[in-house]
Amino acid sequence: MVGHRTRQATGWRPVADVVRERAFGLLPGRADWTAARRSPRRDLLAGLTVAVVALPLALAFGVTSGLGAQAGLVTAVVAGAVAAVFGGSNLQVSGPTGAMTVVLVPVVQRFGPTGVLMVGAMAGLVLIALALARLGRYVRYLPTPVIEGFTAGIAVVIALQQVPAALGVTDAHGDKVWAVAADAVARFVIHPKPAAPAVALAVAALMLLGARWRPGLPFSLLGVAAATVLAELAPVDLVRIGALPQGLPAPSMGFLDPGAVGVLLPSALAVAALAALESLLSATVADGMTVGERHDPDRELFGQGLANLASPLFGGIPATAAIARTAVNVRAGAGSKLAALTHAVALAAIVLAAAPLVGRIPLAALAGVLLATTVRMVEAGSLWALARATRGDALVLVLTFAVTVIWDLVTAVAVGLAVAVVLALRAVARSARLEQVPLDPGEHRAEEHALLTEHIVAYRLDGPLFFAAAHSFLLELSEVADVRVVILRMSRVTTMDATGAHVLGDAIRRLRGRGITVLLSGITPGHDQVLSTLGVADELRREGLVFPDTPAAIRHARTVALAGADAPATAATA
């Protein structure tokens, strides 16, 4: 009974109860489908439109990932349906994406297809854990230069990935994507096959030019269909997707390998981080394209986590929300989850009915689709504006872009964030000021005030006192000379950490060691707790030299200074 009363009094609850409550809060409810009853016909049409756009992209991203076109279709169907039902956005469309393939290619090379499936399932668990911890809201703090830098880098990496297929080269090799592209170019120069690059460029040009002429038409599907017809009728040498099974594979957990968890964990964390980032950014973009729509970031992470748990069971690759397909969904008039669910069902119908026809699509045509997609991903105006904003923004943008292309996406985000944090800390540290302020003459005579001014110095601390700003504060304060009393006015200190508190204590000790009396005034309760916990200024408290406000400190300082001024005269008289 005592333990029970203690829990109630302190508000403490078992972790299991908190997790259970949060898990139930992440599940879909009846209200999620209220919007679907408003205009189901419009949602169905929007879903069909997105399916037409998503089909060539799903095939292309499946091939690029290294697991094949079937894996791309399975991901679009299974992950797209699960994320639509359990996600936190009414407008989001999920499936395989170019950014995800950038992360998956090295995983396939190191661990093979089963490793990718294992990584996807582990990433799903990580996303669910992030949702239960309610971390979805923090993605909004990611700096814009980092986002734009890795988006542009992803576009370049995806374009480089398409070089072998666009040139009709099937045996290119290399450790990095740019090395594979360079090897493909070298092999093409030795044995040129003009049909593949002609088809890739034609499909890409049709998509880019057609989008300006008639934005509503699915030129990607038209281009792929035309290239397939050409390959069937004309005697051209084009590599095809190959045979696809009719229907979804049976679910299987044969890829699970508990012994590989430790080795695959870094890759799983990278996939989870990318899935969370891209999904929440996509949901934010969708909210901005509509009026009154607001996604739930934690539910979105939960839905993406379940989608990435389900996709590997059917042989699919890790999935995330797709910004391009989500934008098409919004522009097509979608207003509820029914549209995204319809997109997945339509793709499943295509898999069941048209698998042999899909297998005849040339890989060069899919390369053209992705080349056009990369051009659309990059907003040159936005990049140029960021590059001219500040030197710091330009540095973060360029570094994130370069590391994405040369190394990998996760390293790029880490480097971009680290540099952005350092630059932000430098800017915040520079905002901290130690400013000498004049004393109020009060009721003293002019000559008495002059005496006080010679022996009392008041400093006002403005801004943060933390590790990045503490060193300069110590150097500046240590230069104080020829005074008897120093008043440190603390009321405008915005932030104080342990380093700042220690530096403050060090400065007080140095001043007192030179015979200078130090007074503190206006310490806020939060900062007072830090100082008390670390034992800073304990001697000043015992001696009554810490004051609630500056006027009280000045009155005491006058007493100390005047007493010091009278001491020599008294001694001489005696």
* pLDDT at res. 449: 53
- String of DSSP letters for 469-485: HHHHHHHHHHT--S-SE
Give the Cα separation of 479 and 235 in Å (integer).
86
Amino acid letter, 137: R
12-26, 83-97, 230-244, 500-514: range with lowest mean pLDDT: 12-26
Report which secondary-structure segment, H or E, holds 494.
strand 493-496
- Kindly report the average pLDDT of the chain as a whole number: 83
Q: Does the pLDDT of residue 326 top 50, yes or no?
A: yes
Give the Cα separation of 141 and 484 in Å (integer).
47
pLDDT tens column, 44-68: 988 887 887 788 888 888 888 889 8
Q: Does the pLDDT of residue 399 top 90, yes or no?
A: yes
pLDDT tens column, 129-153: 999 988 887 876 778 888 788 778 8
* pLDDT at res. 42: 86
Handedness of CA 211, 216, 220, 222 (dihedral sign): negative
pLDDT tens column, 450-483: 545 667 888 888 888 877 666 676 677 777 767 8
Handedness of CA 326, 330, 333, 335 (dihedral sign): positive
* pLDDT at res. 253: 92
Q: Does the pLDDT of residue 569 top 80, yes or no?
A: no
pLDDT tens column, 329-347: 887 788 899 999 999 999 9
User: Is residue 143 packed enough to be buried (19+ CB in 10 Å), middle (13-18) or exposed (0-12)?
Assistant: buried
* pLDDT at res. 6: 43
* pLDDT at res. 573: 33
* pLDDT at res. 329: 83
* pLDDT at res. 342: 95
Between 331 and 125, residue with greater pLDDT? 125
Mean pLDDT over 547-574 rounds to: 67
Give the Cα separation of 535 and 388 in Å (integer).
47
* pLDDT at res. 446: 54
User: What percent of the chain has pLDDT above 70?
Assistant: 90
- Please state at what angle helix 261-288 crosses helix 98-132, rounded to 10 degrees: 90
CA angle 46, 345, 100 (to 5 degrees): 85
- Phi first, then psi, for residue 85 (nearest 5°) are -75, -45
Mean pLDDT over 306-324 rounds to: 92
- Say what the pTM is: 0.71
pLDDT tens column, 497-538: 888 888 888 888 888 888 888 999 999 888 888 888 888 888
Instruction: Categorize the per-residue pLDDT at 442 as very low, low, confident or very high, splitting at 50, 70 and 90.
Output: low
* pLDDT at res. 270: 87
Instruction: Categorize the per-residue pLDDT at 11 as very low, low, confident or very high, splitting at 50, 70 and 90.
Output: very low
Give the Cα separation of 224 and 202 in Å (integer).
10
153-162, 163-172, 301-310, 434-443: range with lowest mean pLDDT: 434-443
* pLDDT at res. 453: 61
* pLDDT at res. 439: 62
